[in-house]
Structure 1
Amino acid sequence: MSSVPPIEDAAVDPAQEQRLHPWSWLFVLLMQMRQFLLPLVALLVFGNRGDRDEMWSYAAAVVVIAVLVGVSILQFLTYRYRIGRDGISVRSGVVSRNRREIPFARIHNVVVHQNPLHRLFGVAELRLESAGGARPEAEMRVLKLSQALALEQLVRHRGQAPAVPTAATAEVAAATPPRGDDAVLLRLSPWDVVRIGLLSNRGWVVVLAALGATMQLFPRGTMSDAIEYGSRQAFGYASHLHPATWVWALLALVAVLGFWVLLRVFSVALALLRYYGFQLSEHERRLTVVSGLLTRLRSSVARRRIQAWTLRESPLQRWARRRHLRIDIAAGAAVENERRDLRELAPLATPEACDALVRHLLPQLQWPPARWQPVQQRGWWRLCLPALLWLPVVAAAAVWNGLPMGALILLWLPWSAFRAHRQMARMGYHLDAQYVAARGGWWQRWWRFAELDKLQSLRLSRSPLDRWLGTASVWLDTAGAGGSIPLCLRYLPEADARAVYAQLGQALAKRRLHW
Structure 2
Amino acid sequence: MSTPLADDGAPDQRLHPWSWLFVLLMQLRQFLLPLVALVVFGGRGDSDEEEMWSNLAALVVIVVLVAVSILQYLTFHYRIGRDAISVRSGVISRNRREIPFARIHNVVVHQNPLHRLFGVAELRLESAGGNRPEAEMRVLKLDQALALEQLVRQRGQQQVASGDTTAVQTPDVPAEDVLLQLGTADVVRVGLLSNRGWVVVLAAIGASYQLFPRGAVDDAIEHGGRQAFGYASSLHPATWVWVVAALVMVIGFWALLRVFSVAVALLRYHGFRLTEHERRLTVASGLLTRMRTSVARRRIQAWTLRETALQRWFNRRHLRIDIAAGVSTDGERRDLRELAPLATPEACNTLVQHLLPQLQWPPAQWRPVPLRGWWRLCLPALVIVPLLAAGAVWEVGPWGALVLAWLPWSALRAHRTMAHMGWHLDARYVAVRGGWWQRWWRFAELDKLQALRLGRSPLDRWLGTSSVWLDTAGASGSIALCLRYLPEAEARAVFEQLNAALGERRLRW
TM-score between both structures, scaled by the size of structure 1: 0.91
Offset, 1:407: 2.2
2:161 match: none
Residue among 135, 147, 150 paired with 2:147:
150
Instruction: State whether structure 2 residue 498 is matched by structure 1 residue 513.
Output: no
Q: Look up the SS of the partner of 2:125 in the other structure.
A: strand
Offset, 1:472: 0.6
1:171 match: none
Structure 2 distance, partners of 1:204, 1:340, is 22
1:164 match: none
1:58 match: 55
Sort the Cα spacing of 1:222 and 1:133 in 2 relative to 1 into closer, same or farther, 3 A: closer
2:33 match: 38
Gaps of 5+ in 1: 1-12, 161-178
Question: What pairs with 1:154-233 in structure 2 (closer than 5 Å)?
Answer: 154-158=151-155, 180-233=174-227
Residue among 372, 376, 381 paired with 2:375:
381
Structure 2 distance, partners of 1:79, 1:445, is 49
Residue among 422, 435, 458 paired with 2:452:
458
Q: For 1:388-418, what per-residue CA distance to the aligned partner results, in whole angstroms no more than 9, with x for missing partners? A: 1222233334445673333222211111111
Instruction: State whether structure 2 residue 110 is matched by structure 1 residue 113.
Output: yes
1:473 match: 467
Sort the Cα spacing of 1:239 and 1:458 in 2 relative to 1 into closer, same or farther, 3 A: closer
Structure 2 distance, partners of 1:211, 1:336, is 21
Of stretches 473-482 and 226-235 in structure 1, the one that deviates more from structure 2 is 226-235
Residue among 80, 89, 101 paired with 1:104:
101
Offset, 1:214: 1.6
Offset, 1:342: 1.7
How many residues matched? Answer: 486
- State the one-letter code of the partner of 1:317: Q
Residue among 127, 131, 135 paired with 1:134:
131
Sort the Cα spacing of 1:467 and 1:231 in 2 relative to 1 into closer, same or farther, 3 A: closer
Structure 1 distance, partners of 2:219, 2:368, is 56
Structure 1 distance, partners of 2:156, 2:445, is 22
Of stretches 419-428 and 252-261 in structure 1, the one that deviates more from structure 2 is 252-261
Structure 1 distance, partners of 2:155, 2:366, is 41
Residue among 311, 318, 324 paired with 1:324:
318
* Structure of greater relative contact order (alpha carbons < 8 Å, 6+ residues apart): 1
Of stretches 338-347 and 496-505 in structure 1, the one that deviates more from structure 2 is 338-347
1:166 match: none
Task: Confirm or deny: 8 A CA contact 1:323 1:354 kept in the other structure.
Answer: yes
Offset, 1:33: 0.6
Q: Look up the SS of the partner of 2:304 in the other structure.
A: strand
Sort the Cα spacing of 1:180 and 1:217 in 2 relative to 1 into closer, same or farther, 3 A: closer
2:266 match: 272
Structure 2 distance, partners of 1:382, 1:336, is 36
Q: For 1:91-122, what per-residue CA distance to the aligned partner results, in whole angstroms no more than 9, with x for missing partners? A: 11110010111111110000000000000000
1:302 match: 296
Structure 2 distance, partners of 1:73, 1:485, is 45
Instruction: State whether structure 2 residue 28 is matched by structure 1 residue 28.
Output: no
Structure 1 distance, partners of 2:408, 2:234, is 43
Sort the Cα spacing of 1:449 and 1:419 in 2 relative to 1 into closer, same or farther, 3 A: same
1:17 match: 12
- State the one-letter code of the partner of 1:107: I
- State the one-letter code of the partner of 1:121: F
Q: For 1:351-385, what per-residue CA distance to the aligned partner results, in whole angstroms no more than 9, with x for missing partners? A: 00000000000000000000001111111111111
Structure 1 distance, partners of 2:194, 2:459, is 36
Structure 1 distance, partners of 2:477, 2:202, is 22
Q: Look up the SS of the partner of 2:302 in the other structure.
A: strand
Q: Look up the SS of the partner of 2:414 in the other structure.
A: helix
Structure 2 distance, partners of 1:258, 1:397, is 31
Task: Confirm or deny: 8 A CA contact 1:106 1:130 kept in the other structure.
Answer: yes
Question: What pairs with 1:349-498 in structure 2 (closer than 5 Å)?
Answer: 349-399=343-393, 403-498=397-492
Offset, 1:227: 3.2
Structure 1 distance, partners of 2:71, 2:316, is 51
Structure 1 distance, partners of 2:182, 2:345, is 15
Offset, 1:75: 0.5
Sort the Cα spacing of 1:114 and 1:339 in 2 relative to 1 into closer, same or farther, 3 A: farther
Task: Confirm or deny: 8 A CA contact 2:450 2:471 kept in the other structure.
Answer: yes
Q: For 1:323-353, what per-residue CA distance to the aligned partner results, in whole angstroms no more than 9, with x for missing partners? A: 0000000112338953467200000000000
- State the one-letter code of the partner of 1:392: P
- Percent sequence identity is 79
Offset, 1:276: 0.4
Q: Look up the SS of the partner of 1:158 in the other structure.
A: coil
- State the one-letter code of the partner of 1:450: A
2:77 match: 80
Of stretches 221-230 and 250-259 in structure 1, the one that deviates more from structure 2 is 221-230
Q: For 1:251-274, what per-residue CA distance to the aligned partner results, in whole angstroms no more than 9, with x for missing partners? A: 222221111111110000000000
Q: For 1:142-171, what per-residue CA distance to the aligned partner results, in whole angstroms no more than 9, with x for missing partners? A: 0000000000000000169xxxxxxxxxxx
Offset, 1:215: 2.0
Structure 2 distance, partners of 1:200, 1:267, is 7
Q: Look up the SS of the partner of 2:61 in the other structure.
A: helix
1:47 match: 42
Structure 2 distance, partners of 1:375, 1:124, is 50
Task: Confirm or deny: 8 A CA contact 1:333 1:480 kept in the other structure.
Answer: no
1:92 match: 89
- Which consecutive aligned stretches of 4+ in structure 1 deviate over 6 angstroms post-superposition? none
Offset, 1:239: 4.1
Instruction: State whether structure 2 residue 290 is matched by structure 1 residue 293.
Output: no
Task: Confirm or deny: 8 A CA contact 2:328 2:334 kept in the other structure.
Answer: no
- State the one-letter code of the partner of 1:88: I
Structure 1 distance, partners of 2:372, 2:481, is 23
Of stretches 180-189 and 248-257 in structure 1, the one that deviates more from structure 2 is 248-257
TM-score between both structures, scaled by the size of structure 2: 0.92
Q: Look up the SS of the partner of 1:439 in the other structure.
A: strand
Gaps of 5+ in 2: 1-7, 158-172
Sort the Cα spacing of 1:421 and 1:159 in 2 relative to 1 into closer, same or farther, 3 A: farther
Q: Look up the SS of the partner of 1:342 in the other structure.
A: coil
